[in-house]
Structure 1
Amino acid sequence: MNARADTGSAPFTGDTQPPSDYAVLRRDPEYAGLNRALLDLVPAGQAPAVLDVGCGDGAVSEELLLRDPAMSLVGVDPDPALLEAARARLGDRARFVVGDASSVSRLFPPDVFDVVVLANCVHLVPDLAEALDAIGRVLAGGGRLVFNSAFYSGAESPADLPRYAELVGTARATARKRGLPPARSAAGRPSGLRRTVEDYQAALAAAGFTDVVTDERAFTFGPRFLTALCSTPMFATAALPGVARHIAAELLTETLEELHERAPFTIMRRCVYFSATRP
């Protein structure tokens, strides 16, 4: 199933030096298309209790409440600054708690939530088995877990891999010319980015989840999305290890603008969606 985002060859806007965090990506209108497909998986109910794990600044929390104002919503994120932004966004319409996916069973009583949502963040979870166990404990029987990711093994189109290589390679060359040689990365690709669809399916089964439904969708993204992607710590630090994160993001964005001036720079990614039930 394919969805096409706005990929026109419009020039870059004034957002040429984005802040180096995930909030920029969450606000991107093209990236929002990934969220809409995920939110469609959230079952409707009578005032459900919903846990938004990795809620960040509350963008997805807000969309959930717009869809069902009667729900009782709690957001969890490890970044206190982002939680403050979420509170400013939603006030007393939701509650926000510092934590991560693996800590939710220590933060909340068992069997208390009807739905748990992880929007575009499961690839950042280091110990997937531990996180799924914790989530299963706070979900009520028959409750649903829904999550997605556009960052997994197989998400990139093979035809677009040279474009990523050109972007990163050119940015690294520019960094070296400016006396900012990137370090050699010994860690390799983060474990979350190496997971496959089958890895997630196996982890859900091992954690005892049932009725697992998987859907992969292809999205085409233009320069707005890529600019936001370059600002994220995950991408900037992996592309230019050892270079200050905000400088790495600026170099990547500058390179992206140059490449886009030569020819429209778009990429295709797949996003995988999961829905599963706690028996």
Structure 2
Amino acid sequence: MNARAGTEFPQVMGGAKPSMDYAELRRDPEYAELNRALLDLVPVGSGPSVLDLGCGDGAVSEQLLLRDPAMSLVGADPDPALLDEARARLGHRGRFVVGDAASVSRLFPRDAFDTVVLANCIHLVPDLAEALDAIGEVLAGGGRLVFNSAFYSGAEDAADVPVYAELVGTARRVARKRGLPLARSAAGRPAGLRRSAGDYQAALAAGGFTGVATTERAFTLGRRFLTALCSTPMFATAALPGIDRHIAAELLTETLERQYRRAPFTITRRCVYFSAIRP
């Protein structure tokens, strides 16, 4: 995602340890293209103050600064190790602080930013209303919130659901044969994965945001994307609950490579984009 050219925001799930397991997904060029459309929603010019919330290793922060070198950029993420990478990437061009979506109103003064960006991480925010309230406090009047997600109810193309089902079902059968402790359900599965585009629209309206613009784009993604997706804790723990996420990721990747070793394949996935104004 960054997850994310997007980054992911794993700590906001409620204490889960952030990890580098999203690195492959962030580096995937198809995933980067999926996120590039988000950058087009960010206003440029006049030296704006921008918060890249869930900035991870600074990949999106770097792209934002390339588009508008005059902006004053702050990145926030709950993972100090990723923030060290962001500082190494950008040096003095940005300021980076430890924090999650719900904490921004405690970290920054009111009306501190002209724009807040969440690049493909909103689905990992557990309490959307709380996060939007906090973001609304640090956005200046007339400021813009932009975010996207390729992980929401309706993101998968109906024709591709059997691909996911076959992959997960085969991996589960292999896990059982190997005596791995497969649970019935995934504890702590992010609630955001069950949100729909309509849920985000309703939350923005309830949070007092106006001028809400929503678009959905479909992307054709190949094996590299799905392999990278299998390596993320979000997907691995949901597919193979009860199994160590690293082992689960390895098993899913192994299953994917075995099933599609000879036949190239693609999947279609939608990404939803939002832009909203704080009155």
Deviates more, 1:126-135 or 1:237-246: 237-246
Amino acid of the structure 2 residue aligned with 1:174: V
- For 1:105, the equivalent position in structure 2 comes to 105
Verify the 8 A CA contact 1:211 1:276 in the aligned structure 2: yes
1:100-119 deviations in Å (ceiling 9; x for gaps): 11110000000010000000
Verify the 8 A CA contact 1:156 1:269 in the aligned structure 2: yes
Verify the 8 A CA contact 1:259 1:265 in the aligned structure 2: no
Verify the 8 A CA contact 1:172 1:181 in the aligned structure 2: no
Verify the 8 A CA contact 2:44 2:67 in the aligned structure 1: no
| Alignment of 1:195 onto 2:195 | yes
Verify the 8 A CA contact 2:25 2:229 in the aligned structure 1: yes
1:80-95 correspondence to structure 2 within 5 Å: 80-95=80-95
- For 1:178, the equivalent position in structure 2 comes to 178
Partners of 2:37 and 2:186 lie apart in 1 by 36
Partners of 2:80 and 2:260 lie apart in 1 by 36
1:128-167 deviations in Å (ceiling 9; x for gaps): 0000000010001110000000000111111111100111
RMSD: 1.4
Partners of 1:23 and 1:137 lie apart in 2 by 31
Q: Cα distance, 1:73 vs. partner? A: 0.6
Where do 4+ consecutive residues of structure 1 move more than 4 Å?
Answer: 186-189
After superposition, the Cα gap between the structure-2 partners of 1:139 and 1:188, relative to the gap in structure 1 and judged at 3 Å, is closer
Partners of 1:48 and 1:202 lie apart in 2 by 28
Amino acid of the structure 1 residue aligned with 2:254: E
| Alignment of 1:212 onto 2:230 | no
Partners of 2:110 and 2:64 lie apart in 1 by 22
Deviates more, 1:63-72 or 1:258-267: 258-267
Partners of 2:52 and 2:20 lie apart in 1 by 23
Deviates more, 1:175-184 or 1:201-210: 175-184
Q: Cα distance, 1:189 vs. partner? A: 5.2
Of all paired residues, the percent bearing the same amino acid is 82
Verify the 8 A CA contact 2:186 2:237 in the aligned structure 1: no
1:44-59 correspondence to structure 2 within 5 Å: 44-59=44-59
- For 1:242, the equivalent position in structure 2 comes to 242
- For 2:5, the equivalent position in structure 1 comes to none
- For 1:256, the equivalent position in structure 2 comes to 256
1:5-154 correspondence to structure 2 within 5 Å: 21-154=21-154
Q: Cα distance, 1:30 vs. partner? A: 0.7
Verify the 8 A CA contact 2:175 2:182 in the aligned structure 1: yes
Partners of 2:257 and 2:96 lie apart in 1 by 37
- For 1:11, the equivalent position in structure 2 comes to none
Partners of 1:143 and 1:155 lie apart in 2 by 28
Partners of 2:256 and 2:195 lie apart in 1 by 27
Partners of 2:160 and 2:213 lie apart in 1 by 28
1:71-127 deviations in Å (ceiling 9; x for gaps): 111111111111111111111111111111111000000001000000000000000
TM, length-normalised to structure 2: 0.90
TM, length-normalised to structure 1: 0.90
Partners of 2:51 and 2:165 lie apart in 1 by 37
Amino acid of the structure 2 residue aligned with 1:251: L
Amino acid of the structure 2 residue aligned with 1:218: A
Partners of 1:104 and 1:84 lie apart in 2 by 19
Partners of 1:25 and 1:76 lie apart in 2 by 20
Aligned pair count reads 261
SS in 1 for 2:182: coil
Q: Which runs of 5+ in 2 are unaligned?
A: 1-18
1:26-52 deviations in Å (ceiling 9; x for gaps): 111110012210000001121110000
